[in-house]
Amino acid sequence: MTVQDAASQTALAELLLAMADDEFVLGFWDSEWTGIAPILEEDVAMSSVSQDEIGHAKALYELLASLSGEDADEIAFGRAPAAYRHAALMNHPRIDWAFSIARRYLYETADAVRLESLAGSSYEPLANLVRKMRREETYHLLHFDLWLRRLTEGGPESRDRLIGALRDLWTDAQAVFAPLDGEEALVAGGIMPDRLETLRKRWLDRVVTRFAELGLPPMPAAPAPAPDGRRLHGIDFAWLHGEFTMVAASEAGASW
Amino acid sequence: MVVRGAPIRAADAADRDAAVWAAIAEVPDPEIPTISLVELGVVRGFAFGGGPGGEVRLTVELLPTFVGCPAVEVMREQVGDRLRELGVADEVIVELSFAEPWTSDRITPAGREALRRGGFAPPPPTGSTFIGDDLLTVLPVTTCPYCASRNTTLENPFGPTLCRAIYHCADCRQPFEAFKAV
């Protein structure tokens, strides 16, 4: 199908940008573990996962570029920090291993719920890409579920650090499901089979159940995310933005 | 050999298609050169068509093994170069497509053997690794490509490239890589 009405086109661009920026920004943060993860296997794993995420971002930026007539690299590297649309969960630096694992777990579970739903999108290019991405994301989900268990059962220090990080990130994690401008049009046209708030509840159910299974304490009540959950970024992201645009900015228009 | 401008007879078209498949089959995977792109199953198909100026245009569709596989651009170039060399079309376009997901089940039997010869355990069928609601998992044990032992352990589900996992064989004491089921 082609997306005809202007409202749906604008909203679809917002959706693609949100997903791409989530993957892109998290891919950059976690690529920082390359060489300094706690064990060699994790150097490899975090690098591989980050490479997957940046690859997913690239495919999503290209899909967006094909709709808008822009250049995918320009979308990825040419925007000012305020124009990025990743969720607040991705605003934080990597901090420590427990923090990075907590964030990955919260993100991977949220992303899995989002992708499960979008695999049924009426917008075929997105549904096709999502079906492919899911096969890869499944490995991430398994890996970070394993780490969640490891840190929970590892000892008082790893458990405390993990719980602290989950609590610190809990509110910002809700923002993966922050409402998008024009969401109603996307749901009406079947481009999004479910509302984001429906997906958030589905995700909460799963995560809360998993935490209970592992004997992790309940998280504080989290209100539904505000519409600006993807618009406010802060100084840590401003620093990362400077890092990941450095090469592109060093010679505008250069071919890679 | 096709005479451009002349109507193509069915037999010629079949020869031409066979020549295209054979040419693509000469292109190795950039990261695992023991296996060809045809054996790897990344070639979804190709079609001959006419360009706007009446030229013969060959369009090839490749399915990336992983969305972020950095080798796809190399594959694309090499397939394009090989087909331009073949000279069956005025213009060759190689497209990447997600129209259907590449899965490790697309690797041909010859391709699985080529992987094993190259020191990579071929992937298990994806059906065997799905549990519950389509959750994929990495098998804890696979067959060592060097000594065929099953006395192996998974060391890391992530390896040196996106599509590979790392195992260790306790019998021949070799670390080795396995192609992931995906």
pLDDT digits (tens, 9 = 90+) for B57-89: 999 999 999 999 989 999 999 999 999 999 999
Q: Report the chain B residue with the minimal C-alpha distance to residue A137.
A: B136
Q: Which of A55, A125, A129 sits opposite B66 (nearest CB)?
A: A55
- Specify the pLDDT at position A253: 77
Structural domain boundaries in chain B:
10-96, 120-179
pLDDT digits (tens, 9 = 90+) for A25-60: 999 999 999 999 999 999 999 999 999 999 999 999
Taking 90 as the threshold, does the pLDDT of residue B109 lie above it?
Answer: yes
B178: DSSP letter = E
CA distance, residue A23 to nearest chain B CA (Å): 12
For range B5-27, the mean pLDDT: 83
> What is the architecture, at CATH level 2, of domain B10-96?
2-Layer Sandwich (3.30)
Q: Which of B98, B103, B158 sits opposite A45 (nearest CB)?
A: B158
Band of pLDDT at residue B134, cut at 50, 70 and 90: very low
Band of pLDDT at residue B138, cut at 50, 70 and 90: low
- Specify the pLDDT at position B39: 97
With an 8 Å Cβ cutoff, are A52 and B70 in contact?
Answer: no
Band of pLDDT at residue B161, cut at 50, 70 and 90: confident
Q: Where are the beta strands (DSSP E) in B66-173?
A: 91-96, 120-121, 130-131, 135-136, 152-156, 164-169
Tell me the three state secondary structure of residue A96: coil
Q: What string of pLDDT tens digits covers the 256 residues of chain A?
A: 567 788 899 999 999 999 999 999 999 999 999 999 999 999 999 999 999 999 999 999 999 999 999 999 999 999 999 999 999 999 999 999 999 999 999 999 999 999 999 999 999 999 999 999 998 888 899 899 999 999 999 999 999 999 999 999 999 999 999 999 999 999 999 999 999 999 999 999 999 999 999 999 999 998 899 889 999 999 999 999 999 999 988 988 787 6
Tell me the three state secondary structure of residue A63: helix
Q: What's the token pair of residue B50?
A: 């006419």
Non-local (6+) Cβ contacts of B134 within 8 A are A138
For range B124-136, the mean pLDDT: 56
Q: Which of A58, A128, A139 sits opposite B68 (nearest CB)?
A: A58
With an 8 Å Cβ cutoff, are A132 and B166 in contact?
Answer: no
- Specify the pLDDT at position B4: 46
Q: How far apart are CA A128 and CA A9, in angstroms?
A: 18
- Specify the pLDDT at position A254: 80
- Specify the pLDDT at position B135: 47
CA distance, residue B67 to nearest chain A CA (Å): 6
List of chain B residues whose C-beta atoms are within 8 Å of the C-beta of residue A52? 66-68, 162
Domains and CATH numbers, chain A: 6-217+230-250 (1.20.1260.10)
Taking 80 as the threshold, does the pLDDT of residue B128 lie above it?
Answer: no
